[in-house]
Amino acid sequence: MRRHQLAQMLIIGAIASAGGIAVALAIDWFPKVGSTQARDVDTLFDVLLIVSVPIFVLVQSIVLFCVWKFRMRPGEELKDGPPIHGNTMLEVIWTTIPALLLVGLCAYAYVVLGDIEEREPNTMVVNVTGEQFAWTFQYPGENGGKPVRSDQLYLPANRPVEFKVRSKDVIHDFWVPEFRMKIDAVPGITTEYRITTTGDVRNYPVVCAELCGLGHATMRQTAHVLAPSEFETWMARKRKEAETTT
Amino acid sequence: MTAALRAPGLPRAFLGGALGVALAYALVLPIRALYGLEPLLDGEAVCIVALISAPFGFLFGLGAFDYWFYWAAGRPTRPEDHSGHGAKTWRDYFRVNTDHKVIGIQYTVTSFFFLLVGGALAMLMRAELAQPGMQFVSTDAFNGLFSVHASILIFLFIIPVFAGLANYVLPLMIGAPDMAFPRLNALSYWLLPLGGTMMMASFLVPGGSFATGWTAYAPLSTDAPLGQLFFTIGVQFAGASSVATALNFLVTIITMRAPGMSFWRMPLLVWANFSTSLLVVIATPFVAASQFFILLDRALGFNFFVPDRGGDVLMYQHVFWFYSHPAVYIMMLPGFGIISEIISVKARKPIFGYRMMAFSLLAIVVLGFTVWAHHMFVSGMQEWIRVPMMITTAIIAVPTGIKIFSWLATLWRGVLHMDTAMLFALGFLTMFVLGGISGVVLAMIPVTIHVSDTYFIVAHIHYVLFGGSLFTIFAGIYYWFPKMTGRMYDERLGKVHFWMTFVGFNLTFGPMHIIGLKGMPRRVADYAEQFAGWNLFISIASFMVGLSTLVFVYNMVSSWRGGPRAEANPWRALTLEWQVSSPPPVFNFDRIPTVVGGPYEYGVPGAVHGVFDRPGEKPGEVSPAPAGGVATAPRKE
């Protein structure tokens, strides 16, 4: 009888898990992929989904199964369950398996973290400065030339970029959802992160993600990812502007 | 009239509060004159001092300190005749009362008042967010709404309501006549409404309420308008209340257990509050410190968070989260205790793996202090610390998992009584797992970098604090309602409440995972057009949660006034609080119980947890327990 019940529940659970995983993977969770980092992060999230769904389904099916099979029937008002106080074997199993699983996930996440923060050659530096309630972007000048300033973020496609992030007043957070990376802009220190843009030529929102005051919700700009040649044209024009204005 | 103003009570308390304000003027004006500050009368300076002096004046007037003053002044202290015990009319709930049962109800009802306030603020937020653009409030007012919403629900609902429930049932559960320090207990309660009133009053001051989130990150908070200080100082009162109660619980649990109640015979609710109290006394001083830094920077021009003057902005976050991460366990462990009680009683089975349940609580206490910087993965702190914090954060899911699996094993082959308390307990089990899983997902640094400060976090925190804590609170309220009020609640309305809450909750917070991952940041009054559909959906669902609360309030109020009388032990539970009448006698136990077995021996033929006649003594020969006397230490048997 008991074995039969357990088997019944496991079959229901396995079917539900498979269905759950299929649904979870079918859902489009993320914004568009705007950086090579985004692919690694999205894959990690998919793996987490595949691990999470069976655990979630396991708990739900046990609860629902118990409610279905073991609920009090009329006439059982004074009946008690069997006095089972524990089972060391089971307790060892449900301590060690989750522990191993979690350590495994941490190891994988550690590898992904290394990948997405790797330094690439030929990295372009952009200085990002946050203030209430706007970002400014500054491109260091080449060979002693004047730096270029812009109110909107322009980036070349297929290029590693490093953002050096600063703040003039309170804490902000520099985030382009499509890049999957963000970092706080902290008064007094310089923070940084790196991304490599994909080949897609698109516009993305630049979002302030850390509450920074009454204009926080409106602290939005645009990141323009341009084809490398177009980016060079834009940069040349901006450099000329910078040279002519003192 | 003068008699009323001289006797301890609310009239004298308001007089004391007014004198506190006068004291603030008397302190600030001469000091400003001496320093030659202009203008001499600075409303803000007076207000800051009054925020501290008026509450103390109120407490002095109320009589919270009377006994200690008499004692300190060498005047005869009134003999402890326990005239402050018990409540005969509703008026007694508005006085300083030393009865833990009265204080428990004061705590619980006050906390639920703040739940309604916090919930109403959430409704306003959802109304504003139903459509993109600004409709009802300004962006600044919106920032105030979510800041006060979170602060009130964390500091004045979840943390104190658990203290209130435990205040009522914990001394009963361990067979004690009261808490260890009844006067301190009364003081801890009265600090709460002061802190809460302060936070609500911040809406009335020039510049509006505090609007920097409940996290109040510097330097945004040190530059904020006056309302910020109502949070800064309000938290001190709520925190002091929390620490005093936790000390009280620790001493009560350690010294006042009934004879025979060893640590391994304590109900898990007692274990849970023991663990929680350890967390509170160790961690809460850190949040007090973080807010004192803000106060000193803001009011006295210190430079803790001014980088140009050697200040360190990240230091605030470290100190703040060193409290505020353990705080999520402060808001969860008592709930674990409640669920253990309910699941065992309603499934008619012993709790599965009792010792591991207790050890996992202690493991969470220890691990809870090693994970705080996972709130700071994108804060710009040193990078290496992220990996160890990721591992400890993931590992803390192991003791939590042990608890979940043990509850499931307790259900297995039980006889499940599916009443409202059990529904909320099972609702907790199913929802908290989701909060736990999204917690593990959030431990993974690369995912967190993308989703921190988004609605994914909002979803996670509500699955943990609403699907987790609030469900356990509702479960506990329904479970102990007969004991606390002596009345039965309406089971049908209870089930309506559960299903409305359960469905509404999932429809509200489930989609927040999606919009968060898609890129909607949290704490925004306005959002991009692409999120409009989901936000409208969430807003409508949230109003359903709001409506469900009205069902709950109606059920509680009408049942308390006119529900059928409750028996002493309607759930056939073994723990001691159910062995006395509902509501219990003024001094809890007319005879001191002796504990002879574990608290959850359901299904064991003839098992009892406590007896009222000591072994070896004939029934009836035992003299009544000395009322309010000191409980004897547990006997070795």
Residue B50 has pLDDT above 60, yes or no: yes
Question: Looking at residues B324-341, what average pLDDT do you find?
Answer: 95
Length of chain A, please?
Answer: 246
pLDDT of A1: 52
Q: Domain range for residue B22?
A: 2-69
pLDDT of residue B628: 38
In angstroms, rounded to a whole number, what is the distance separating the alpha carbons of residues A223 and A114? 25
pLDDT class of B360 with cuts at 50, 70, 90? very high
- Which residue of B219, B426, B604 is in closest CB contact with A170? B219
* Residue A207 C-alpha, separation from nearest chain B C-alpha, in angstroms: 8
**pLDDT value at residue B86:** 77
Query: Do A240 and A180 lie in a common domain?
Result: yes
Domain identity same for A197 and A132: yes
Assigned domain for A16 exists: yes
Q: Which residue type is seen at B267? A: P
Q: What is the pLDDT of residues B465-513, one digit of tens each?
A: 999 999 999 999 999 999 999 999 999 999 999 999 999 999 999 999 9
Whether B186 is in a domain gets the answer yes
Contact A150, A137 (CB under 8 A): yes
pLDDT of residue A6: 80
Closest CA to B59 of B33, B108, B113, B96: B96
CA angle B426/B429/B433 to nearest 5° reads: 155
Same domain for A102 and A129 = no
The structural domain count of chain B equals 2
* pLDDT given for residue B9 in this prediction: 87
Shortest distance, CA A9 to any CA of chain B (angstroms): 12
SS3 string, B481-519, reads: HHHHHCECCCHHHHHHHHHHHHHHHHHHHHHHHHHHHHC
The answer to whether the Cβ–Cβ distance between B429 and A63 falls below 8 Å is yes
In a domain, B130, yes or no: yes
- Chain segment B505-546, per-residue pLDDT in tens: 999 999 999 999 999 999 999 999 999 999 999 999 999 999
Same structural domain, B46 and B163: no
pLDDT of residue B39: 87
- Whether B567 has its CB under 8 Å from any CB of chain A: the answer is no
Chain A residues with CB under 8 Å of B398 CB are 95, 98-99, 102
Contact yes or no for B521 and A27 at CB 8 A: no
The answer to whether residues A103 and A141 belong to one domain is no
pLDDT(B622) > 50: no
* Same-domain pairing of B54 and B178: no
Q: Is residue A226 part of a domain?
A: yes
pLDDT at B449 (0 to 100): 95
Put simply, whether B519 touches A (Cβ < 8 Å) is yes
Contact criterion met (CB < 8 Å) for B378 and A216: no
- Tell me, yes or no, whether A10 lies in a domain: yes
Among candidates B350, B378, B391 on the partner chain, residue whose Cβ is nearest the Cβ of A182: B378
Q: Is residue B607 part of a domain?
A: no
Using the beta-carbon criterion (under 8 Å), do B350 and A189 form an inter-chain contact?
no
**Residues B400 and B359: beta-carbon distance below 8 Å:** no
Asked if A148 and A98 sit in the same domain, the reply is no
Q: Are residues B322 and B371 in the same domain?
A: yes
- Best A44, A57, A67, A113 residue to mutate vs chain B (most B CBs within 10 Å): A113
Q: Which of B89-93, B128-132, B584-588 has the highest mean pLDDT?
A: B128-132
CB count in 10 Å sphere of residue B1: 6
Shared domain for B6 and B143, answered yes or no, is no
Q: Let me know if residue B570 belongs to a domain.
A: no
Contact assignment for A214 to B379 by CB distance below 8 Å: no
Out of B514, B545, B562, a domain closes at B562
Domain assignment present for residue A97? The answer is yes
Banded model confidence at residue B625, pLDDT cuts 50, 70, 90: very low
- Would you call B37 an interface residue with chain A, using a CB distance cutoff of 8 Å? no
Number of structural domains chain A divides into:
2
B158 and B114 part of one domain: yes
Q: Is the CB of residue B219 less than 8 Å from the CB of residue B137?
A: no
pLDDT of B411-446, one tens digit each?
999 999 999 999 999 999 999 999 999 999 999 999
B contact test, residue of A184, A194, A203 with most B CBs within 10 A: A184
pLDDT at B465: 95
**Residue numbers in B near A80 (CB within 8 A):** 348-349, 415, 602-603
3-state helix, strand, coil in chain B (%, to 5): 65, 0, 30
My answer on whether A178 and A111 are in the same domain is no
Per-residue model confidence (pLDDT) at position A141: 79
Contact: B416, A71; criterion CB under 8 Å: yes
Given this model, what pLDDT does residue B614 score?
57
Q: Indicate the residue of A56, A86, A116 with minimum beta-carbon distance to B437.
A: A56
Residues A104 and A132 occupy one common structural domain: no
Retrieve residue B199's tokens.
């936070």
Asked if residue B630 has pLDDT above 50, the reply is no
Query: pTM for this structure?
Result: 0.93
The pLDDT confidence band at residue B71, using thresholds 50, 70 and 90, is confident
Q: Same domain for B225 and B318?
A: yes
B64 and B128 in a single domain? The answer is: no
Instruction: Check CB contact under 8 Å for B447 and A44.
Output: yes
CA distance B367 to B379: 22
Q: Is residue A218, in this structure, part of any structural domain at all?
A: yes
- Domain shared by B260 and B392, yes or no: yes
Give the CATH number for residue A173.
Answer: 2.60.40.420
Mutation site, B360, B449, B498, interface A, largest A CB count within 10 A = B449
CATH number at residue B440: 1.20.210.10
Residue numbers of the domain that contains A142: 124-244
| Residue A94, in any domain of the structure | yes
Whether A81 is covered by a domain: the verdict is no
Residue B617 has a pLDDT of 53
DSSP 8-state symbol, B406: H
B144-158 pLDDT, tens digit each = 999 999 999 999 999
Confidence (pLDDT) at B80: 58
Q: Has residue A110 been placed in a domain?
A: yes
* Contact B445/A at CB under 8 A: yes
**One domain, residues B117 and B34:** no
- Is the same domain home to B65 and B101? no
Tokens of A35: 């950086």
- Cβ-based contacts of A2 with chain B (< 8 Å): 413
- Beta-strand (E) ranges in B384-501? none
Q: Between A and B, how many CB-CB pairs are < 8 A?
A: 256
Would B147 be classed as within a structural domain?
yes
What's the average model confidence in pLDDT over B347-352? Answer: 95
Do A130 and A235 lie in one domain? The reply is: yes
Q: Does residue B57 sit in the same domain as residue B154?
A: no
pLDDT of residue B82: 62
Whether A41 and A138 map to the same domain: the answer is no
- Chain A residue nearest residue B377, CA to CA: A183
B62 within a domain of the structure (yes/no): yes
* Mean per-residue pLDDT pooled into runs of 10, chain A (246 residues): 76 89 89 94 94 92 92 90 91 94 96 93 93 93 82 94 95 95 95 94 95 92 95 91 77
Among B540, B562, B584, give the residue marking a domain's end.
Answer: B562
Per-residue confidence at B5, pLDDT binned at 50, 70, 90? confident
- Report the residue of chain B nearest A210, measured CA to CA: B453
Are residues A104 and A144 located together in one domain of the fold? Answer: no
Interchain proximity B453–A182, CB inside 8 Å: yes
Q: What is the pLDDT of residue B626?
A: 39
Cβ(A201)–Cβ(A226) below 8 Å: yes
Which residue of chain B is at minimal alpha-carbon distance from A166? B380
Instruction: Give the pLDDT score at B605.
Output: 87
Average pLDDT over residues B379-394: 94
Residues of A in contact with B423 (CB under 8 A): none
CB of B123 within 8 A of CB of B543? Answer: yes
* pLDDT at B79 exceeding the cut of 70: no
B53/B63 Cα distance (integer angstroms) = 16
Average pLDDT over chain B, rounded to an integer: 91
A158 plus A227 within the same structural domain? yes
Of B411, B413, B415, the CB nearest to A72: B415
Task: Tell whether B64 is within 8 A of chain A (Cβ).
Answer: no
State whether residue B635 sits within 8 Å of chain A by CB.
no
Residues B61 and B197 in one domain: no
Mean local confidence (pLDDT), B307-333: 94
Amino acid identity for residue A156 in this structure? P
